[in-house]
Amino acid sequence: MPRNSTTTGGRYDDDDDRVWNCGAWFEYILVVVVSSILLIAASVLTIFWTIYYRKGFNMDDPKLQFNLHPVLMIGGYITLSGFSILLYRICRCCSHLIVKLCHTFFHACSIPCIVIGFMAVWDSHNQQQIPNFYSLHSWLGMITMGLFALQFVLGFFSFLILLCCENATYKFRSTMVPIHASFGVATFMLAIATAVTGLTQKAHFELGENYSQTVEEGIIMNSIGVILTGLGIIIPFAVRRSNSPANCKVYVTERI
């Protein structure tokens, strides 16, 4: 069955050869369900780890203040940003503007998480006189934050503000789409790399010799790392796949 969506103003990239059969349905549901489960599992398991093994949160104790860092960073960079990216796969049949607004909303929600998550570790380190920005984790984290901020500002201006004068800015915005989408996936993958190095670092700091005795906490931390790596594979795969339910739009981003 050929796809019968229309290429509205050249915004969508359409191919008659992309059919929506039983296998494609199965793949679509599998990818969306598995991605959603992993996105939620990453945050839930991190919250469980910090509360159960790391004694939860307390802003008056720098050690417990640190615990906000993994929870908010994984919540903001992975779960919220991940769902924000996945929206382009899930909400295929919604209006383009609604998908964009939801995408912006999810990313906007992740900003306070990232800012507070960063302040938590910065303040906690300073109080304990631990140096900042020396590790691979912090280097990758800085690059991720820079790219995320740039992406948000560029995305916000290109897609929402410039939408006010839609026709005049069409060419500029259509040039921005593949760049924004590529760097968006890159930022997500950078966040995953930052998170797994952070987990490894934390395991060695907190568990020390016990880490090599395969303690329960080590297994939980490794499991968070495996889930995050799984997300680093499935989310870019999900958003780049070119098939979609019949009668739905195929975004240019899928070609990237």
**Residues 147, 190 contacting (CB under 8 angstroms):** yes
Interatomic CA distance for residues 45 and 231, integer angstroms: 14
Q: Could you tell me which stretch among 47-55, 111-119, 164-172, 186-194 binds a second copy (CB under 8 A)?
A: 186-194
How many amino acids of this chain bind a second copy (CB under 8 A)? 46
**Judged by CB under 8 A, does residue 73 bind a second copy?**
no
Give the single-character DSSP code of 19.
-
Binding mask 155-174 for a second copy (x = CB under 8 A): --------------------
Q: Which of residues 122-161 bind a second copy (CB under 8 A)?
A: 130-131, 134-137, 139-140, 143
Asked if 82 interacts with a second copy (CB under 8 A), we say no
Which ranges in the chain belong to alpha helices (H)? 22-52, 62-66, 68-73, 81-90, 96-127, 136-156, 170-207, 216-240
**Is residue 30 close enough to count as binding a second copy by CB under 8 A?**
no
Contact 78, 231 (CB under 8 A): yes
The reply to whether 36 sits near a second copy by the rule CB under 8 A is no
Instruction: Determine if 232 is a binding residue for a second copy (CB under 8 A).
Output: yes
Contact window for a second copy (CB under 8 A) among 61-69, 91-99, 101-109, 205-213: 205-213
Rounded Cα distance, 36 and 79, in Å: 9
Among 9, 15, 26, 108, binds a second copy (CB under 8 A): 15
Structure tokens given for 213: 């005795």
Closest contact distance (angstroms) between CB of 255 and a second copy is 5
Q: Which residue matches tokens 């952070």?
A: 198
Q: In angstroms, how far is the first alpha carbon of the chain from the final one? A: 25
Among 187, 165, 12, 160, residue whose Cα is nearest residue 100: 160
Residue 89 is a binding residue for a second copy (CB under 8 A): no
* Binding site residues, a second copy, CB under 8 A: 13, 15, 17, 130-131, 134-137, 139-140, 143, 182, 185-186, 189-190, 192-193, 196-197, 199-201, 203-205, 211-214, 218, 221-222, 225-226, 229, 232-233, 236-237, 240-242, 255-256
